[in-house]
Amino acid sequence: MKIPLIEAEGSNYDIGFIIGKKLKSRLKALLEIEEKNYKRESGKYLSEHVKSLQPIIKRTQKHFPNYIDELRGMSEGSGIGFNPIFALGCEDDLAYNCTSIAGVSKDGILLGHNEDWLLDHLNSLFICQIKQKNKSSSISLGYIGHLPGFSIGMNSSGLAYTGNSLHFKANKNGIPLQFSIRALLDVKKYSDLIKLFEINNRMIGENSLMVFRNKIFDVEMTPKTYDIISGRKYLAHTNHVLSKKLIKQETRHSQDTIWRLDRANKLLENNKISIDLFKKILSDHTHRPHSICCHEYEKRKGVPYATIGSAIVNVTKGEFYIAHGNPCKSKYIKYKL
């Protein structure tokens, strides 16, 4: 099944309504999948979690009213209740493996990302192109049931970012991560980024490898604080903490995240950076089954994880390449910002 492309413009509510209407059937199917997965991962059903949402919704409304409107539009466009859709974005700490790379090529600054998740989410991704008056336009890859851009995104102000899981003690009553990530698509200035990083009541932490106006850097965030790691010609990140400031707060990581990072860095260091090199890295099978390109192997508790999507962005040229499923087998399709 092809990754759907949604083109949306207007107010945040309008954007959400268009997304909800066009993805209605897939959204309903996703809710059925998540009901089972949430029980397996957290010990309770997603529908049970809905009952405790009101304080979280109120807190999120204070910081991100525009994106609450966008989620309400998605709810009304799809005919699905607001609380169940909001609840989908409150299980962010269940995300698992991803690999992100960035580098300077002769054709522009590149950002690449493999999205690894449960195999039953292979058809849960969507591409979204957004146009808004007096705001940055954007293109992104994310999850159906979430606000746009939850995996990787780029905007017309020169920002591109990816998202990787990191494991810190969660703040279960904090603001769901999807709201601050959605806000990245609207960023115009570096000070806008800092304001997002300084939010100190996130539900979970995460990592974002970023390119902004010819600079490469990585941001590791706990629920309450953050640290920035600078890059030069290239930079890579997987799923373990690199910041000396934050490393003591990390609760766990797996051996395969270290293998994947070492492999990505080795290939970036010893080869000429290009789109073809990025495709090679994101398709790499060294340390298989714990490789950068993951093929539904049992990584944790017998659960089948896989690379369900891969993306490469040329930030300089505004080009967005997306492959559905494993990039070693799938063709990258080109989109323009």
Q: Is the pLDDT reported for residue 257 higher than 80?
A: yes
Asked if the model's pLDDT at residue 254 lies above 70, the reply is yes
CA–CA gap between residue 99 and residue 304 (Å, rounded)? 17
Residue 230 is which amino acid?
A: S
Question: Which pLDDT tens digit goes with each residue over 184-194?
Answer: 999 999 999 99
Q: 76-111, pLDDT tens digit by residue?
A: 999 999 988 998 887 654 456 799 999 999 999 999
- pLDDT higher for 67 or 34? 67
> From CA 303, how far away is CA 266, in angstroms rounded?
29
For residues 22-30, average pLDDT: 92
* Domains along the sequence of the chain with CATH: 94-336 (3.60.60.10)
List CB contacts of 229: < 8 A, sequence separation 6 or more. Answer: 217, 218, 219, 220, 235, 242, 243
Q: Give the dihedral of Cα atoms 222, 197, 218, 124; nearest 10 deg.
A: 80
**pLDDT per position as a tens digit, 194-208:** 999 999 999 999 999
Span 136-164, pLDDT tens digits: 999 999 999 999 999 999 999 999 999 89
Query: Quick one: pLDDT band at residue 60, thresholds 50, 70, 90?
Result: very high
Q: How far apart are CA 151 and CA 114, in angstroms?
A: 9
Q: What is the pLDDT of residue 304?
A: 77
Mean per-residue pLDDT of the chain: 91
Percent of the chain with pLDDT over 70: 92
Contacts of 53 (CB under 8 A, 6+ apart): 83, 86, 87, 90
